[in-house]
Amino acid sequence: MSKTVYILNGPNLNLLGKRQPEIYGYDTLEDVAANCAKVAEEFGITSKLMQSNHEGQIIDWIHEAREKAQGIIINPGAFTHTSVAILDALNAYEGVVFEVHISNVHKRESFRHHSYVSLRAEGVMAGFGVEGYALAMRRMGSLLK
């Protein structure tokens, strides 16, 4: 059976491509899903992109991934900087975890410099625009193959 990677997105990322293009670009989450699916396919992997504005929903998806996905690519949005609960859920997950940020969080306000999720992630992409998701998927493909 083919391996599955969840691509989880946190609050406000549903606005991608619709607001603040100077920071987040013009691509939508649908474009991200299509680009990642194309890369995943090269490795025979199935990808599933999800977005929620609710912390509990993201935690539920991480729990679900314990049974259903061998890897998680996560952009937790602002929860990156606040959520011990998401970190705890990821710590209970045994697959590969990559963290993605569209913007270079280290070039922005100091409250964006700390990430709870980085304490768990095998790798972090920041500042590569939405291409960071596909790059993370490529690395995921080589690790899972």
Catalytic residue numbers read: 24, 101
| 83 is a site residue for ligand CA2 (CB under 6 A) | no
Pick the stretch among 12-20, 26-34, 44-52, 83-91 that binds ligand CA2 (CB under 6 A): 12-20
| 24 is a site residue for ligand CA2 (CB under 6 A) | yes
Q: Please, which contacts does 30-36 make with residues 24 or more away whose CB atoms are closer than 8 Å?
A: 31/130, 32/7, 32/130, 32/133, 32/134, 33/7, 35/130, 35/131, 35/133, 35/134, 36/5, 36/7, 36/73, 36/133, 36/134, 36/137
* Residue choice 77, 90, 121, 136 for contact with ligand CA2 (CB under 6 A): 77
* Residue choice 8, 90, 102, 134 for contact with ligand CA2 (CB under 6 A): 102
Instruction: Write the burial class of residue 69 (CB in 10 Å: 0-12 exposed, 13-18 middle, 19+ buried).
Output: buried
| 13 is a site residue for ligand CA2 (CB under 6 A) | yes
52 or 144: whose CB is closer to ligand CA2? 52
* Residue choice 3, 80, 96, 121 for contact with ligand CA2 (CB under 6 A): 80
Task: Please work out, in degrees rounded to the nearest 5, the angle formed at the alpha carbon of residue 50 by the alpha carbons of 44 and 55.
Answer: 135
49 or 105: whose CB is closer to ligand CA2? 105
